[in-house]
Structure 1
Amino acid sequence: MPQDLGQYGLYSLVKGVPLRRILVVVFLLQICLAVLLTAFFSIRSGQKAVNDVASELRHEVANRIEQNLQSYLFIPRQILRSNQNLVDMGLLKMENLTTWESYLIDQLKIFPDALVQPQSGIRLTVSNEQQEYLAVEKLNNDEFLLRKAGKSTDYDLYTYKIDRQGQRTQQLEAIKNYDPRSLPDYQTAVTAKKFSFSKIFTPLTESTLLIGASQPIYNSQGQLLGVNSSQIHLSQIGDLLQNIKVGKSGQILILDESGLLLASSTTEAPLGLKNGKPMALSASESRNALTQAIAKYLTTKFNNFNQIKSLQQLDFDFEGRRQFLEVRPLKNEVNLKWLIVVAVPEADFMGGIERNTQATIFLCLLALGVATVLGILIARWITQPMLDLSTAVKDFGKRVTSADFSNAEDSVVKVQGINELEILAGSFNEMVQQLGEAFTTLTSKNQDLELQINQQTQKLEQEIQERINSEQKAESALRETKEAAEVANRAKSTFIANMSHKFKTPVNSMLAIAKTLRNEVYDLLNQEQRQSLNNLEDSGKNLLELINNILDLAEIESRKMELQLTSTSVQELCDSSLSFVKHLALQKNIQMSLQVPLELAPIQVDEVRIRQVFINLLTNAIKFTPHAGKVWIEVQPNSTNEYIFFSVIDTGIGIPSDDLFKLFQPLIPDESSYNRRSANTGLGLLMVQRIVELHGGSVHAESQLGKGSRFTVKLPWKNLSE
């Protein structure tokens, strides 16, 4: 139906429009769609290429920076580890720092100049708990700075220039009451009790930013002797970043967890003044606009830089231009929470992409113009022969209407130029010729056909009348047979009921005598007699049960059983059935249980008959379940609450699959393993089936040999609330 509506809508849209115009429009639509898709995918492909290149570039730059930083920061750790070994071997004494002076100078000589550049490289220091301090820093290839404080200087800090041999050449400055234990690198090492990096700090002697890599030194008793440190100028890290090119105008930043700017690939120094004192500069207060924008964007997105635990690739707009960012934490460094930020402007890549896009759009528009002209010419070339063919068809239609095929050659069409239209015209001409011949033949045969139809109609009417008479006779005979069968069935049921009543009296008497003998003379009997008396009583009970089943079955078969439907609680119905057979389960130590959903609505059934069904199924389950097995009832309504299912499940001996279909067959000798073990007559399960069917339900059996059986009763759930 929707397809028909769509076709109707399309038909109404193009109704009355010339084919020439439709062909041109369709052709132009295809060309426009191709042009638009080409332009769209070209622009999209260019943008994707930009994103991929920018992502690869910033990722590669960040990897390179991380490797350089780790290599650079490994040097202080290597120096301190070497010094620790010498202290452990007793070659350097923490109690006498004079022995350290020449050693530290030699260390600065052997490391590469890139790592110990004058006034911007590594400063080696050592201090002890006696407030003594020694620091050595390289000025140039021939001069070093020596800073010293201790008991010999009255705990004032003196700064000297010294030559390569360690001789003092000039005293530069002195600071009173200098306590090296208050330095951040000393306190960090003492607190951490292991190698660690300090926070960024500015020394008293100069306006620069330092970070200390410190190693606490303990004696064999674990007592702190002092701290050996390598202090690094952050300006050196900035020089490393400036040597790395990021596109045309990209930037690299190193930030700490609080947002301080530690280093930048720009010429901006990460040092500011507050109240006249030098201090680290926050990135959000940077004089570089892009650096400031990056810091504010990261603060807005993450709120706290500590939340950046892994690599992040981001982008944001700055001054109307898109910026690609990669932010990653510096890994594998002890307590050093730095962030590496690489910013790449999109504009660095878009120049060539935009030129390619403009060229693509121009070529697409040119192709559109050429295609439009070609479409108009091709449409005219196709439609003109079709117009000629349409005129011939109209003329031929008039001839068909008037049944005049005397001059059929006048309707012949001649088309040249298009192979398909030539074939169509040839087919049309052939059709005109064949229709003329067929019309003549059809006229001659029409009269013969009418005569044959009349004859067949008379014959068919006669056959129909004969079949109606035969069916009426068969229906009458079937009705008489059915009535006779019903009379015979009622007579059979009445006979069985009468005979069963006559059998019950002697059986009850036999049971009463057996019970009396067991109660009064049981102790006087020997073991064989007692067994015979028990067998007599059990046989009588089985016979009485069989007679009762026959009576109930006869009542059902004779249609005399009427159900007394009442509102019955599902929970109480199941509980009472389990209670009835509880003594049988206790004899075999069988565990019984009930699984019923909470708050089930009552069900309308004949409570007595349905309880009889459950007791019968439970008795069979207990009978065929070994000692210490399990038997339970499981209740579950279906999804629409239209039916409810009662399942009696056991862990008994099971029933072979070949014997399942025989379970509900009445009064038929059954040699299945199930009935041979139980002496089952089949009437009990037959009664279950008949009672359930009277309620409009059904019974289904499932079993697996050696694992147990499941008998499921399906009943209509007549909810009283409906």
Structure 2
Amino acid sequence: MQPGIRLKLLSSFLVLVLAVVGVFSYTSINSSIESMHQQARSLGSQLVQAFSQLAGPYILESDYATVIASASQLIEQGHINEIMITDIDGKIWLSTQTDSKPLPMSDPFYRQVIKKNLGQTRRIDTDSITCLEFVAPISTFGNPTYLVRMMMPLTEIEQRVNTQIRETLLFALIVMLVAALAAGVLSRLLTEPIKHLLRGTSEIIRGNYSHRIEVLSKDETGQLAHSFNQMTGHLEQEQDKRQRAQQSLIEHRDNLEQQVAERTEQLTRSNTQLSAEIDVRKRAEFELEQERSLLAERVAERTEQLNRTNQDLERAAKSKDEFLAAMSHELRTPLTAILGMSEVLQEQVFGPLNDKQSEYLNIVNESGNHLLELINDILDLAKIGAGKLEIRPGEVNFVNLAETSTRLVRGQAKQQQQQIEFQIAEGLPRYIGDPRHLKQVLVNLLGNAIKFTPRQGQIGLNIGVTSDSRSIWLQVTDTGIGIAPEDQSQLFAPFVQVDSELSRQFSGTGLGLALVSRIVKLHQGHIEVDSEPGQGSCFTITLPLDNGMKVGQSLPVQESAP
């Protein structure tokens, strides 16, 4: 059985009163205890300070009788039960107890009194009694020479605290009894009108709309009873209206049946027409679906045809790259032998050479080396296209890279009386890449700069880090003939030279920059050119530090489709 509202109000009120009384009692008791202890501490501190100041001169005069008399008078007042005077080494000079022991001067409490030359207080709990210990120094010329120790038992304070607790609990009990009586009366006053209202509601549920509740007061409960009576009156009126409306509805029902029959006949005719229209729409949708299916088949056939064409093109490109790689390898093998034999002849292993023979051998060497460079470029491009170029990542030393690259082309620059200078920024971050292929990139760029720069020109190589510290940049500059803006877009295409007149004047195939561009892309970087005719050229390579390469990792790289 669920508890009634009266019991709920009564219990809630009592719980609230209990909480308030409990908090008040707890606060009052704690406040009284704290006040009593504070008074005891204050009194003890005043007594020990006053006694230390009073006894100081008598101790210096060794007037033991006066000091013991003062101590006895102080104990007779009832607050202090023991007084002891010791020197700073703990030796007892005077004690009101016969069984007193020397003070342990190693105790930090006593050492703190001597160190600060100030009185201290602490609480001591023993098996039989709890006391407050007060210690104050007796100073001579500003230095502590004796200690006064007083013991104040807390027995009286504890008795007063117990008395306070009993009085507070008795007061709380009386308040709870009064509150319980008041809550009982109040809950009855509040719940009696609700009971009347509940009985009235039961009558309404049984259909007795003429029942009215007696209004006993003019407060909210009385207003509620009055509103309930008004509601029952409205319900009674609404019941009468509903009965009249029901009678009217019965009368209209007969007429409505005839109207429904007529409307049903009209709807039947409309449905016949609508069915014919639906048949026409279904035929149109069927024809549209057939056209859609036919279009989908044609799209699928065209897509399959394009896929086959793409596959054929990919196979053809792969076959071309494999053929170029094989042919370049086959060409390089005999050419290497020819160059080796020509170098042996130049070294005059088989006898001295005349000037004409030396000239011819130089021509053979230059042409052979040029052809070997061309074959190497073709072979590297073919490897990249066929996915067979192997990247061997390692930590790149840009100082060694710059020195090696410039040393390889310095002889060529010397023939043209050109100056090669390189500058490397300090504190470059650690970079992982393929040192051999990066050297190939710089040698190609420096070789082109030397080739297209007039005699006594300037060639520069600069290496640094970008402003966001996320990439390394390498820059090759020259004071050469420059490149027209409309030709710069074709620079990195294989087998393309921007000017046929220049291709005849300066030997070349157009493979070097294409190879440079692809190697840079394999390092996740990019290359840019800034040039004007007659103003020289500047090629800038940007290599991101985060390129996914790891030291010691061997990567066969497949070039991504453009």
TM-score (norm 2): 0.49
Which structure has the larger Rg over C-alpha atoms? 2
Which one has a larger percent strand, Structure 1 or Structure 2? 1
TM-score (norm 1): 0.40
Which one has a larger percent helix, Structure 1 or Structure 2? 2
Q: Which has the higher contact order (CA 8 A, sep 6+)?
A: 2
